[in-house]
Structure 1
Amino acid sequence: MNERILISGASVAGLTLAYWLARYGFRPTVVERAPGMRAGGNGVDVSGLAVDVVERMGIMPSVRAAATDVRGMKFVDADDRTRARIALQGASSVELMRGDLVALLYDSARDGVEYLFGDSVSRLEQDEDGVTVTFERAGARRFDLVVGADGLHSTTRRLAFGPEARHLHHGGHYFAFADADAGLGEDRWVTMFNQPGRMAGIYRSGRHTQAKAYFIFRSGPLAYDHRDTAQQKELVRRAFADGSPWRIGELLAGALADPEFYFDALAQVRMDSWSTGRVALVGDAAWCASPASGAGAELALVGAYRLAGELAAAGGDHRLAFSRYHAGHRGLVRAKQQIGFNVRLMVPRTTFGRRVRDTVARLPLFPALGAVERLLQTGNRRTLPDYQV
């Protein structure tokens, strides 16, 4: 049945996969590089088919209770005067902090799941009967299948599918997220300040006392170590350290002091296949649509649900299950990787572009277009398979 399944990565995709595999009678083991569950992260959306997944897991009431209660986003000038507001609407979707979602998933995925914290996969050796996994700290172990749920810079993908450069597509921007002074920004709003090719913002949840700082800047590919936080902080400091107005100095000071500082490219992962032999990928490791898509949590929850369900429906036959998983989830991934105007909305390239954005955002037409888009999404909504096994 291929019962022994190693999952590399304890985030949204990995924990969801572990939950469903254990529920279907498999024996999942989750290995996570961090010494415990990662509590940080930005706001994520549980929307579309992901709502069905968390409802079937029985945690939707808890997800709604943890919602950030953010009303929308506003754009300000250097004097902190509001130039435009965009209200966020969507009764079926829920935004919550990534750390809150991960905590709920972890609480749900404890029974029947083994966890190895503070370790990582360093080598994979496949044969006809299984995969020998060498860890950085623990001794080598044997598994029937291995699934990489270890993010944009996936070690599993590199070991099984080749160098990262084959699969990552740079989006022309970099993104940083960190703690900010709790007194900054307007409560329950995301406040954004733009200069050409740059954005700094303040995220104020209605249910969290801690404010968050956002930074986005345009750039070609940069050479840096994605595990060297000090180096990443220096990149952000340089990008915004030219005497920029508004609250940027205060936001930088808080962000650079935050040990949970996060930085990465707005990049996408594009692959012809998410499996090779007995190794598969799920979540950002397989199809990262970039944070600008707003679809990371939805794709992770739905993809993990499908992968576990297809393995169960196929009686553990990984060849059949991986093929069906790919075929069933590929359409949603392609749709969500079409980011559209999200980045141009947040980070106009020119001063003129920023003025046009602010003008359009003030028009009644803008929220109307959003309502039409949500209506179309509802009418064309895909259905979630019900795996009766």
Structure 2
Amino acid sequence: MKVLVSGASVGGPALAHWLRRRGFEVTLVERAPRPRKGGQAVDLRGAALVVADRMDILEQVRAARTTMRGMSMYDGDGNEIMRSTEETVSGGRLDSPDVEIARDDLTAILDAVTDAPCRYGDSVATLTQDDGGVDVTFDSGVRERYDYVIGADGLHSNVRKLTFGPEQPFLKHLGMYVSIYTADNFLGLDHWQVWHREGEAGFGLFSDRDTAVMKVNMGFAAGPLGYDHRDVEQQRRLVQEHCSGLRWQAPKLLEAMWRADDFYFDAMAQVEMDRWSKGRVALIGDAGYCPSPLSGQGTSLALVGAYVLAEELGRAPEGAFDRYERRMRPYVALNQALALENPGMAASPESVRRAADGITLD
């Protein structure tokens, strides 16, 4: 059977890996012209670590984990007001069995084991399905027919739009926006995180293995804003407008933002849908059930969702999407709830652990 998977970040390559192991012919398509750079550190917890182990990549993932020593919080005058060598905002407790890893490192590991062809610099333009398959026209003009099409193409999923309609009914805005980019490490951070917040805006900085640079997370609270999610310059202007009142290192960070070649910006939002499939098209990861970065579980959901969907398709294509949804729904609900448990703060460790382990994979 031929399967097209749209999106070559985390869920897409993982799904391609598992489907190929089960005998499917898989093609990936990715709008970006090459593997995407940048992104924040991501977490693998509970069931996602089981999936990584079954992919035979867990040892590599652990070897590439971030090695943070701790974090500090500063006020607007540059005074350290809190320090911890036991936990960090991004990764939780440093003695946890969970793994925090740079997104770039994880995607490189997944790409190395996926072994499926990828059409970079292209995207799905049209989908027309019938009882026997799905006819796909790509932006490049190429036409192909597949047995199934899977959208693993993120919060603003193109496959979801073509199959289910505009995204607005499915996106639940959580009142915050975040930008992520790389800057020169002018603070000299060494395996350390620094956080600062004033009013409705703030930033977090951290440096890991390459201490010449640091990752910047700069964000602000706001209601729904109208902007083009592909217009990077417009997004930079929004960050400048909403974060220019921050003090301490903010002016230097905003200046660096305009030079960054890996700038990313988006709303903190969740995707809520009654169904993740229609006919021969289905969604995994953020495309179908984004929990938002506030949950810390988006990557884990994508890896587990890819594993479960591939397992169900491999068991028997007929009814596979229904079985996938029945297995994943409770797990998704637990993980999406993490972002809402303590608005503006992390969910309790008990809730995080319950959500991370909230699915049986056997």
TM-score, normalized by length of structure 1?
0.87
The residue type paired with residue 354 of structure 2 is Q
Give 1:341 shift.
5.2
Check if 1:51 corresponds to 2:49. Answer: yes
Q: For each residue in 1:163-185, what CA deviation from the matched residue of structure 2 results, as whole angstroms up to 9, or x when unmatched?
A: 11110111111110011221326
Q: Distance in 1 between matches of 2:143 and 2:291?
A: 33
Q: Which has the larger radius of gyration?
A: 1
Q: SS at 2:311's partner residue? A: helix
The residue type paired with residue 106 of structure 1 is D
**Corresponding residue of 2:183:** 180
Q: SS at 1:25's partner residue? A: coil
Is the Cα contact below 8 Å between 2:185 and 2:211 reproduced in 1? Answer: no
**Corresponding residue of 1:381:** 357
The residue type paired with residue 47 of structure 1 is R
Q: For each residue in 1:246-265, what CA deviation from the matched residue of structure 2 results, as whole angstroms up to 9, or x when unmatched?
A: 10011111122112100000
The residue type paired with residue 344 of structure 1 is G
How much identity, in percent, do the aligned residues show?
A: 43
Query: Residue 109 of structure 1: which of 95, 101, 114 is its match?
Result: 114
Which segments of 5 or more consecutive residues in structure 1 lack a partner in the other structure? Answer: 347-365
Is the Cα contact below 8 Å between 1:15 and 1:106 reproduced in 2? Answer: yes
Give 1:138 shift.
4.0
Q: Out of 275-284 and 83-92, give the one that drifted further.
A: 83-92
Query: Residue 94 of structure 1: which of 99, 103, 111 is its match?
Result: 99
1:22-33 matched pairs, under 5 angstroms: 22-33=20-31
1:117/1:179 CA distance change after superposition, 3 Å = same
1:272-351 matched pairs, under 5 angstroms: 272-314=274-316, 316-317=317-318, 320-338=319-337, 339-340=339-340, 343-345=343-345
Q: Distance in 2 between matches of 1:20 and 1:287?
A: 20
**Corresponding residue of 2:90:** none
Is the Cα contact below 8 Å between 1:67 and 1:207 reproduced in 2? Answer: no
Q: For each residue in 1:132-155, what CA deviation from the matched residue of structure 2 results, as whole angstroms up to 9, or x when unmatched?
A: 001000411100100000000001
Give 1:199 shift.
1.0
The residue type paired with residue 30 of structure 1 is L
1:79/1:187 CA distance change after superposition, 3 Å = farther
Q: Distance in 2 between matches of 1:373 and 1:285?
A: 24
1:209/1:55 CA distance change after superposition, 3 Å = farther
Which segments of 5 or more consecutive residues in structure 2 lack a partner in the other structure? Answer: 88-92
Is the Cα contact below 8 Å between 1:70 and 1:206 reproduced in 2? Answer: no
Q: For each residue in 1:21-45, what CA deviation from the matched residue of structure 2 results, as whole angstroms up to 9, or x when unmatched?
A: 0000001110000111112111000
Give 1:65 shift.
1.1
Q: Out of 279-288 and 252-261, give the one that drifted further.
A: 252-261
Is the Cα contact below 8 Å between 2:189 and 2:214 reproduced in 1? Answer: no
Q: Distance in 1 between matches of 2:343 and 2:135?
A: 42
1:286/1:185 CA distance change after superposition, 3 Å = farther
Query: Residue 148 of structure 1: which of 128, 148, 151 is its match?
Result: 151
The residue type paired with residue 292 of structure 1 is L
**Corresponding residue of 1:254:** 256
Q: SS at 2:153's partner residue? A: coil
Query: Residue 125 of structure 2: which of 122, 125, 134 is its match?
Result: 122
Give 1:187 shift.
2.1
1:233/1:20 CA distance change after superposition, 3 Å = same
Q: Distance in 1 between matches of 2:284 and 2:69?
A: 31
**Corresponding residue of 1:79:** 77
Q: Distance in 2 between matches of 1:49 and 1:85?
A: 31
**Corresponding residue of 1:9:** 7
Q: SS at 2:229's partner residue? A: coil
- In the alignment of these two chains, the number of paired residues is 354
Q: For each residue in 1:74-126, what CA deviation from the matched residue of structure 2 results, as whole angstroms up to 9, or x when unmatched?
A: 2111232221235322432110111110110010001xx22111100011001
1:95/1:146 CA distance change after superposition, 3 Å = same
Give 1:204 shift.
1.8
Q: Distance in 2 between matches of 1:83 and 1:206?
A: 26
Query: Residue 164 of structure 2: which of 161, 166, 187 is its match?
Result: 161
Is the Cα contact below 8 Å between 1:119 and 1:138 reproduced in 2? Answer: no
Q: Out of 205-214 and 267-276, give the one that drifted further.
A: 205-214
Q: Distance in 1 between matches of 2:181 and 2:241?
A: 16
TM-score, normalized by length of structure 2?
0.93
Q: SS at 1:171's partner residue? A: strand
Q: Distance in 2 between matches of 1:257 and 1:182?
A: 14
